[in-house]
Each structure stands twice: as structure tokens, then as C-alpha cells.
Amino acid sequence: MHHARRPLLIALLGLTLLACASPGQRATEPVGAGANRPASAPERTLIIAIELEPQNISVLVPATPTVSSNHVTRPFNAMLELVDGQGVAHPYLAEALPQLNTSSWRILPDGRMETTYRLRPNVVWHDGAPLTAEDFVFAFQVVTKPEANFAAGSAPPISYIENATASDDRTLTFHWRQLYPDASVLTLGGSRGGLPPFPRHILEAPFREGLGDAFVRHPYWTREFVGLGPYRMDRWDLGVSMEAVAFDRHVLGVPKIQRIRWVFIPDGNAATASIRSGAIQMAADSLDFNQAVELKREWAGNRGGQVIAGYTSTRNILFQFRPEYVSPRAILDARVRRALASAIDRQLFNESLFGGENLLMDSLFLPTFSYFPAIDRSIVKYPFDPRATDRLMNEAGYVKAADGPFTGADGRLTFDFKIGEDNGGVPERAVVAGMWRQAGFDIEEVNMTTAQLRDPETRSTFHAISAYITGAHENNQVSQLQTEQIGSAENRWRGNNRGGWINQEFDRLVLALNNTLDADARVGVRSQIAKLVTDELPLITLASNPSAYAFATGIRGPGPLVLLTTGITWNIADWELS
């Protein structure tokens, strides 16, 4: 069903792969190969530095977005499938994945679908309770209940599922309300975990009692998490660290490393010093890109370790279209938005923030896929061109004085430019805002606090421009522009379309993309989407949002981030520590 994907090595920093095995051996075992593997004799603890203390351990959580990363949630969770480092999906909790035109993936006469899974036998939760198909049915009920406020419930692929049923303890069926080409691998959708099961024996009672603070703040989501992954929670010292122990009944076998300790080090300099001294063996998202560059160069001469870079998200600039919030109204003029795009020097942006090593992007679709050249021909591009900026603004009715910014009939144009102060975006905003000021735009930089970032209403009611990070998978990308994804008070501000852009042709094309099963035809639809979006320019896609992971010598197993939803710890059960 899928085109072959180019390896997303993204050669950031020219990074080499961490050695995974001795010469002549496979880098990693196939998924499931360790099912009968005994635990290693000597007990070892892998110590990992992360920037922020997680606010959740579950792949999906209720209420507003919280701080966590898939490299942290992966060790605790297991899903129906597991996507490996080459972007290939393998059965995980399921015995097999649905195959089109078989009894496991049926197209119904009315255009709906059914996909059926048979769960592996004798799978148990971390507390020993058996996993059943009803745990998935329960999870679907929870995630799709509007009051629960799960973001994944309103986005593909979950939003395309009408119902989930269990015919017995091991047989699970999803009933789809429409065609969906990626239905066999739910983690290819907008949610990084697809639809993970929820333990009914723990959550059903509080769920039935109501979805207030008691459910949202239930300790299950954090310190008392019970999952199905290769590691189970052992200890959590708030503000300091958390520790997990290998789960000896993990469905794919006992992990090779017995314990993992995550220490919370928000200071990149401190994390760098810790890995240099040997106090930690891995730095995950605790280093900024420039620190990773420095460490990589230092280690190149003495083989002190390795750095791996990859990404699962992109950096975007979004414009406001809701008439009740937009100010100034000039931002509604496509010529003004194109002028802003033409004033961004992308190469300077890359060099200023990423040493010139990041992956720049011109559209919603990543240039790393094999089919991208066909899409690239349709993209309207905006190279850095101050003269184009002046011409477009003049066409829109605005002129620039020799010593001042653009003005029009209503006076000086001033644009609010919002970005979160604690998500690494302030330097990005400063660089882009500086370019816009140089071009003649009056820009007012506005910080969004952590609390504001977590408030969906605040994130959707900015006045003019908002910079933010979103998932790189195309479902995440297109959902930020779909009409059905516009948040409002009526739907509790659920939805990824924070700018409120409405375009019926775009909605039609997205529906066609999600309803077309032929891979070549889907490339053609993507090309039409790319042309429409880059011409109308409801947002500017700037670049990937890279993460750098540093590993000291002695760790064997990690590989590159190849697929967008594949975290660095996808195969952590097979890592070794010497």
C-alpha cells in the first residue's frame, strides 16, 4: 500500500549510525526475535538525561497537551503494531496486521470498511491482569468521548473509525465510517500511538463516574501507570528522576537492559557535562542542536560516543483567519502573506539556528519520501526576495517609508507574533522577526507561557501570527487546515486548525486523499494539495524540528529515526549496555 520510503537519515550534522552489532551481525534482531531470550545475568542501569519531567507516561492522555516525548512513553507502552527503524510495521500486540481484500480488511458495499485483529495469546498488563480486546474497545470509547478532550479522538485515523467491537477476548474489529488507505497501521496516522489499549480494570470505574479532574488527574497517567511495554514503572521521585525495571512478561521477550533511570536535566550545559563525565549514558532532547554539534566534533577524534539526529515534527508559522480575532485584517490578504514569506531568508534561518544542517521545507509534505519529486513540481515557492516583498505589499495597498514600516489607509501595520517561551521557539521567533523588520514589517513579539501553551483556546485566539511545532506526518499537517478541525467554544476548542482557515477545495482534496487506496493516485492528490496551500499560504512550513540524541560508548542498539512516528527507543528492548 505504501511507496518505498527513503531512509530519513536526514544526515543532520553528517551523523553516522551508532554501531549496533559486531561485524557480520545484524544491527538489530527482527521484531519478536527476543521472545524466548533470557534476561542478561549482570544487572545494569541505563541512565538517560531528559530536558523536562514527563507529565504523562501513557501514549494518549486526556485534557490539554502535556509534556512528554515518544522516546519516554515508548518503553512503557505497546500497541497493535511496532514500526521499526526502516519504517516497516510489524505485529506487536496483534498476531498479524490487516491485509486489504482479505477477511481481516473488508471493503463494504456502502464505502465503509472493517479491519480485524487477532491479539497474541497470554498478553498481560504490568500488574499481571490479562489484556483483552475489550481493553481496546474501552480505549476507543474513552478517546472519542468529547468530554474527555483527547486530541487524537478528533483527528485521523481515530476520527474515521465509527465503532470498535470485540467478538471474543482476542478478536478486535474496527468499523470505519469511510475508506482509509493506512488503516492497517494506526500509528501512521496523526496520533503517535494510534489507539493504545486502556486497562479497563483500572480506568473503567473512574471513567464511568465522570470526566472531571478526578479522571484527568488520576495517578494512572503518571506515577501509577500500568502498561504493556518492555519496561514497567518502578519509582518516580518528583522533580528528580523516574526509574523503570524490565518487564519479564513482555510480549516480545525480556529486555536486555534491566533498569532505566531518567534524570531531569533542563540545562543543556549540565547534560553535556554529565555525558562527558560518564554520569549518564544517553542525552535525549536535553541538548540543543548546537551543543550536539560541539559534542559530535569532540567525539569524532577520540570515539567518545555517537550522536544521532532525527525528527518527528516540523516548525510552522500560522496565520489567523477568524474574523472575530484577526488583527490587523491585512493578514487576510494572500499578497501580504506571500510578502511575509518572501522576506524570510531560509538559509540564514538554518545557519543561525541549526548550523546550516537542518532540513528546510516548502510544503506540508516531506522531501524525504520517494514520491516527493512529483509533488515538488506543484509547489509554489517563495525564495528570499526583498523586492518581491515590496511589490506584493504595494499591490496590496501598503507603502514603506524610507525610515519606517509598511503603512496603509489605516496607518502603520503591526503584527503580533506569538510563540511559546519554553519550547525552544524564542530564538526562532527572534530570527524570523528580525528578518521581517528588516523588510519593513512592524512586528511585536509576544511570549506564550507554559500555561497558555496548554490552553487550547489561547493557542487558537492569537491576533495575527503564531509559530508552533506540529507532527510531521501528513495527517498532522493537513489536519491543521481542515474546516472540521477548527476549534471553538462549542467543541471545547478541540481541533488542530488553530488559525481557522476555511477552504472547501482543500477539504475536498483531503477527503480524496484519505479515501483513495491507489498509491499513485494519492501522489496526484498530494500535488494538488501542495499547490493549493502554497498558493493561498494559510501557513508557512519552515523546516523540520530536529532532535539530537547523544550516546556514550557502551550502548548498542539505537538506530536512526527513519519514519516520522518512529521514536529513537522503538527497539529499546534489544538495546545492550556494556
Domains of the chain: 311-545 (3.10.105.10)
> Rounded CA gap, 172 and 522, in Å?
28
| pLDDT, tens only, 245-295 | 999 999 999 999 999 999 999 999 999 999 999 999 999 888 888 888 888
226, 201 contact by CB (below 8 A):
no
Which has the minimum average pLDDT: 9-13, 378-382, 557-561?
Answer: 9-13
Cβ-contact 300, 66 below 8 angstroms: no
Cell numbers 472493517 correspond to 114
Whether the bond between 328 and the residue before it is cis, its omega within 30 degrees of 0, is yes
- Asked if 286 and 50 touch (Cβ cutoff 8 Å), the reply is yes
How far is it, in rounded angstroms, from Cα 260 to Cα 231?
8
Q: What is the pLDDT of residues 453-510, one digit of tens each?
A: 778 888 899 999 998 888 777 878 898 899 999 989 888 888 889 999 999 999 999 9
The yes-or-no verdict on residue 359 having pLDDT over 60 is: yes
Query: Judging by DSSP bridges, how do beta strands 539-552 and 282-284 pair with one another?
Result: antiparallel
Task: State pTM to two decimals.
Answer: 0.75
Query: In terms of Cα–Cα distance, which of 568, 575, 526 is closest to 548?
Result: 568
pLDDT confidence of residue 346: 96
- pLDDT score for 456: 85
CA distances from 464 to 185, 416, 460, 546 (A): 37, 6, 11, 26
**237-243 contacts at long range (C-beta below 8 A, 24 or more positions apart):** 238/53, 239/53, 239/264, 240/264, 242/53, 242/54, 243/45
Per-residue pLDDT of 426-451, as tens digits, reads: 678 889 999 999 999 999 998 887 77
Residue-level length of the chain:
578
> What pLDDT, in 10s, does the model give residues 82-120?
988 777 889 999 999 999 999 999 999 999 999 999 999
Tell which residue, 481, 458, 452, has the closest CA to residue 540.
481
Closest CA to 543 of 76, 12, 44, 16: 12
d(CA 429, CA 251) in angstroms, rounded, equals 45
Tell me the per-residue pLDDT of 321-336, one tens digit each, with 9 for 90 and over: 999 999 999 999 999 9
Amino acid at 157: P
CB 163: neighbour CB atoms within 10 A?
14
- Give me the pLDDT at residue 35, please: 43
Please check whether residue 314 is in contact with residue 472, taking contact to mean a CB–CB distance below 8 angstroms.
yes
Backbone angles phi, psi at 117, to 5 degrees: -120, 145
Which residue from 126, 129, 67 is spatially nearest to 248, judged by alpha carbons?
Answer: 126
DSSP string, 482-542: -GGGB--TTTTT-SSB-S----HHHHHHHHHHHH---HHHHHHHHHHHHHHHHHH-SEEEE
Q: What is the pLDDT of residue 67?
A: 53
